[in-house]
Amino acid sequence: MSEKELFNNLWVLISGVLVFIMTISVGLLEIGELGEDHRRSLLKTILIMCSALFFMSFVGFNTAFAPTINGLIGNPFYNGIFLGGFSSNAYGVFSGAWWSMAPTYFNTGITLPAYFFFEVAFASVTLALVGVVVLRKVKLEAFFLYSIVYFIILWALPAAWIWNPTGWLYSIGVRDFAGGLVVHGAAGAAGLGIVLQVWREEKKKGLKESPQVRVNLSPGWLTLSVLLLWLGWFGFNSGSTLALNLEAQIVVLTTFLAASSAFLSTLFFRYIMTKENPSLLYAVNGILMGLIVITPLAGFVSPASAVVLGLIAGPLFLLCEKWFSKFKWFTDPVGLFPGHMSGGLFGLLMIAFFTQKPFASDAGSPNLPNGLLFGGGYPALQQLGVELLGVAAVMVTVFALSFVTMWAINLVLHGTTTDYKKEQMIA
């Protein structure tokens, strides 16, 4: 391994460690917003982390990141189960770069262990985001079964399509820097599939609307969780260059500036709306919304663009939150739909507006055109169309597969939902 490649691997490992923190931090976010008696939320996120490691290493890493079959899905048998299995040929499987990190493709020299570790942390936190709608309503065993399908198919498909250099969406030009669509958008689509099945079962039980879970702040946990998530986002975005170059350092700037700008605009507009001192809840959600919005284009834009995007993210969250709170057939107190789904997709589309080639090029996307706001013209419009196509393909597919998965689990387990009132008692 050259010294440059060793730097890249070290960067990805450090980033991976930070992203690893995020899954269980989503559990802490849940008790921060809903109260510490939601201990099931904590068990759920630990389960997600372990399930991700086990089933991604079993085959899910291959279905996402092995050379694809017709651009649709990674070859599940490419690398054997458990990342090389018992092979003692450590200098075969483990030597040098993973195929897509070799000179033919991304040319960063990232090894299988480093790349797996980084991406499994991504997959895991994505399901943690999906899981905030599970609350105490879905049986733990149902969610565990769901997680198996999720890590082998549902998470893998968008990754194989967009982050795998042989994927069909990548081939037609869809770009998504650190996961506005692959992570946040797709998490929303998967969540919609889950709440739809939950609502079908609740209706069958005779409920007129879905029991709403109320916010009940636990200030210490809420603060700690946003600190850990923000820390994780350092790795999430900056590590997504998969190389320790100047652009990786610029991504630190765009990520942190978007977060702070979104915080300020969220508190400002919230104050305009309520004329009251802002609460910790909106502080936290503001920061998260800024981080979400910048994610898909953190490597493509200038620091000042990141500030603008952050300032927009604040009121966007407040509007989306208001809109989604109208629906009573599901409950989403932690904000999967107004936050992650809306913010992720919005940020993705902003690629066609804010991208500047020098940044994007250094971030590994040299073919991305300048955005509309930077003289991109027709190629930028075309990029917008391509991204929209990506959104449609991913959201429809993930939503449909998520719902079908829940529906099938429903058949197997005779219901995916718990007796919610009883669950509340036992926590």
| Binders of a second copy in range 118-157 (CB under 8 A) | 120, 140
Rounded to 5 degrees, φ, ψ at 363 are -90, 10
In the bound state with a second copy, the residue whose beta carbon lies nearer, of 121 and 169, is: 121
Neighbours of 157 (CB within 10 A): 23
Q: Does 53 bind a second copy (CB under 8 A)?
A: yes
Letter for the amino acid at 80? G
In the bound state with a second copy, the residue whose beta carbon lies nearer, of 85 and 385, is: 85
Q: Are 306 and 359 in contact (CB under 8 A)?
A: no
Torsion-angle region of residue 102: left (phi > 0), alpha (psi -120 to 50) or beta?
Answer: beta
Q: Does 374 bind a second copy (CB under 8 A)?
A: yes
Closest CB 413 distance from a second copy, rounded Å:
13
Q: Which of residues 288-347 bind a second copy (CB under 8 A)?
A: 302-305, 307
Rounded to 5 degrees, φ, ψ at 94 are -100, 0
Q: Which of residues 201-230 bind a second copy (CB under 8 A)?
A: 217-224, 226-227
Residue from 69, 102, 196, 280 binding a second copy (CB under 8 A): 280
In the bound state with a second copy, the residue whose beta carbon lies nearer, of 263 and 269, is: 263
Residue from 77, 87, 204, 381 binding a second copy (CB under 8 A): 87
Start-to-end C-alpha separation, the chain: 51
Can you tell me whether residue 55 is helix, strand or coil?
helix
Q: Does 400 bind a second copy (CB under 8 A)?
A: no
> Which stretch, 75-83, 157-165, 166-174, 201-209, contacts a second copy (CB under 8 A)?
75-83
Q: Which of residues 1-20 bind a second copy (CB under 8 A)?
A: 1, 3-4, 6-7, 9-11, 13-14, 17-18, 20
Q: Are 366 and 303 in contact (CB under 8 A)?
A: no
Q: Does 389 bind a second copy (CB under 8 A)?
A: no
Letter for the amino acid at 284? V
In the bound state with a second copy, the residue whose beta carbon lies nearer, of 231 and 389, is: 231
Instruction: Identify the CA nearest to 175 among candidates 376, 399, 381, 366.
Output: 366
> Which stretch, 155-163, 186-194, 203-211, 273-281, contacts a second copy (CB under 8 A)?
273-281
Half-sphere exposure of 416 (CA within 13 A, CB side): 27
C-alpha–C-alpha distance, residues 151 and 330, integer Å: 24
Q: Map residues 33-52 to x or -, x wherever contact with a second copy holds by CB under 8 A.
A: ---x--x--xx-xxx-xxxx
* Token pair listed for 174: 């869809």
Closest CB 356 distance from a second copy, rounded Å:
4
Q: Does 377 bind a second copy (CB under 8 A)?
A: no
Half-sphere exposure of 19 (CA within 13 A, CB side): 28
- What are the b/e assignments for 183-213, b being 16+ CB within 10 Å? bbbbbbbbbbbbbbbbbbbbeeeeeeebeeb
Q: Does 397 bind a second copy (CB under 8 A)?
A: no
In the bound state with a second copy, the residue whose beta carbon lies nearer, of 41 and 342, is: 41
Closest CB 4 distance from a second copy, rounded Å:
8
> Which stretch, 23-31, 151-159, 197-205, 313-321, contacts a second copy (CB under 8 A)?
23-31
In the bound state with a second copy, the residue whose beta carbon lies nearer, of 58 and 168, is: 58
* Token pair listed for 304: 């000042």
Q: Does 256 bind a second copy (CB under 8 A)?
A: yes
Residues 6+ apart with CB under 8 A from 206: none
> Which stretch, 113-121, 197-205, 337-345, 404-412, contacts a second copy (CB under 8 A)?
113-121
Closest CB 124 distance from a second copy, rounded Å:
10
Q: Does 116 bind a second copy (CB under 8 A)?
A: yes
Letter for the amino acid at 241? T
Q: How far is CA 189 from the centre of its chain?
A: 11
Closest CB 128 distance from a second copy, rounded Å:
12
C-alpha–C-alpha distance, residues 72 and 64, integer Å: 10
Residue from 150, 163, 234, 353 binding a second copy (CB under 8 A): 234
Q: Are 66 and 100 in contact (CB under 8 A)?
A: no
Closest CB 6 distance from a second copy, rounded Å:
6
* Token pair listed for 78: 């490419």
Can you tell me whether residue 69 is helix, strand or coil?
strand
Residue from 72, 77, 82, 204 binding a second copy (CB under 8 A): 82
